Chains A and B, each alone.
Chain A
Amino acid sequence: MKVSMSVNGKQVSGDVEPRRLLVHFIRETLGLTGTHWGCDTSNCGACVVLVDGEPVKSCTTLAVMCEGREVRTVEGLQVNGGLDPVQQGFHERHALQCGFCTPGMLMTGRALLDENPNPTDDEIRTAISGAICRCTGYKNIVSAIRWAAEHEAQSSKEAEV
């Protein structure tokens, strides 16, 4: 079955079986392996991508259900060759060890800040409650997302001046 969608701003299409999951379409058909394929049961959040700006578990979404949608993966986070503030925050605050959960955490964090630019720690924890880190780095992940929020607030203030 033909399916077309926008992925990281580029129009892509493929001929897939209807049962093809979005995560495998992204990783195998498109070769974008930044999105990780984890528990396969919508529990772990490693496969989170944004569909029309909303975080979605791509292991529990059919590729054909995304016809005409705008998908954003971790590869689409960087802006003009520079890191997204959420990515920079993970670097600054040492928010990863093995890195397996990181793509999903980054996309979930990005979606949170797009909706709520100044979240409390509780709101950050709730937002990432569907993403599991087995290195138990939650404290640093929360800190990294807060770092990104603070730096985005600062740079938009500077842009106003």
Chain B
Amino acid sequence: MQTPAPFEYERASSVQGAIEALERHGPEARIIAGGHSLLPMMKLRLANPEHLIDINGLEELAYIREQDGEIRIGAMTRHVDLLKSELLALHFPLFRDAENVIADPVVRNRGTIGGSLCQADAAEDLSAVCSAVKAKVVIRGSGGERVVEMEDFHVGPFTTAVGAGEVLTEVRLALRPGAGSAHEKVERRAGDWAIAAASAAVWIDESTIADAGVALSAVGMTTIHATRAEELLHGKPPSDDLFAQAGEIASEDCSPSADGRGPVDYKRHLAGVLTKRALRRSAARALLQET
């Protein structure tokens, strides 16, 4: 039987209450949201928190809305709601691409965007998705709120910019014209972690790429921000050749490990091909050739 080691449990009734509980219990306290990453790690003793602070009651953190030129997503928004959101599908269709292949529908009923980002598993899809669309996250502590760019969010394997006594409360996606985005993933079977996955976004101004985002899952110790590939795309007209070159660069810049899901050369190859495909679909969506 796999059961977590003993811990104390409490339910937070507000974000402020959760922050106070984190401060009261110190470094061995953890927030639990959907629990579908944390509980399996606790069963395996990879995580051994002494206090769990349950934020499932914080309905005020479950929303997807448009506000001040941004799409804002509350940290407790579950995968199923990200999948079903027409607002997200309209502006950032890569969320729907990703959510169709994140775990399975039953797991998606529980897992949350805040939990996925804070878990910061390199094989997890939403970290790459949020990186590609250059999201910002809102982190709240007793001293107030700060807004962190995705490129500064991942500080190491399973480690994020969320500090002691802090809670991630919101993800913000700026609405900019000419946007297109896509997520491409290859997995061994339905519901499995990625062998490799690529998220891409482009912002096309007239006929050139004004800005681009590329991020990769499962091919490094952290989510890979493919900045060299992004730089290549800047200011150029979208083309299959360009996307193939960007894929080659992304393939060079990732650092996969061999495991049961495949050898290094295969994963590198996949990273390149998936980057190319994700960029091609992003551009087609930006140019309204594909939904």
Q: Give chain A's interface residues, CB within 8 Å of chain B.
A: 1, 17-21, 24, 40-43, 45, 48, 54-57, 60-62, 64-65, 67, 108, 126-127, 129-131
B220 at the interface (CB under 8 A from A): no
Contacts of A62 in B (CB 8 A): 9, 32, 35, 39, 52
Q: How many A-B residue pairs have CB under 8 A?
A: 77
Complex CA–CA separation, A62 to B109 (angstroms): 15
Interface residue tally for chain B (C-beta within 8 Å): 28
Contacts of B190 in A (CB 8 A): 129
Are the CB atoms of B105 and A130 closer together than 8 Å? yes
Known: A129-B104, A130-B191. A54 touches B109 (CB 8 A): yes
Complex CA–CA separation, A25 to B8 (angstroms): 17
B2 at the interface (CB under 8 A from A): yes
Are the CB atoms of B9 and A57 closer together than 8 Å? no
Contacts of B3 in A (CB 8 A): 19-21, 24
Known: A18-B7, A21-B3. A56 touches B39 (CB 8 A): no
| Contact among A41, A65, A108 for B54, CB-based, below 8 A | A65
Extra contacts, 4 of them, besides A18-B52, A130-B106, A131-B106 (Cβ < 8 A), are A19-B3, A60-B107, A62-B39, A130-B105
Known: A41-B40, A61-B35. A19 touches B4 (CB 8 A): yes
Q: Give chain B's interface residues, CB within 8 Å of chain A.
A: 1-9, 11, 32, 35-36, 39-40, 43, 52, 54, 56, 103-107, 109-110, 190-191
Are the CB atoms of A67 and B11 closer together than 8 Å? yes
Known: A62-B9, A67-B11. A56 touches B43 (CB 8 A): no
Nearest residue, chain B, Cβ from A123 = B105
Nearest residue, chain B, Cβ from A111 = B106
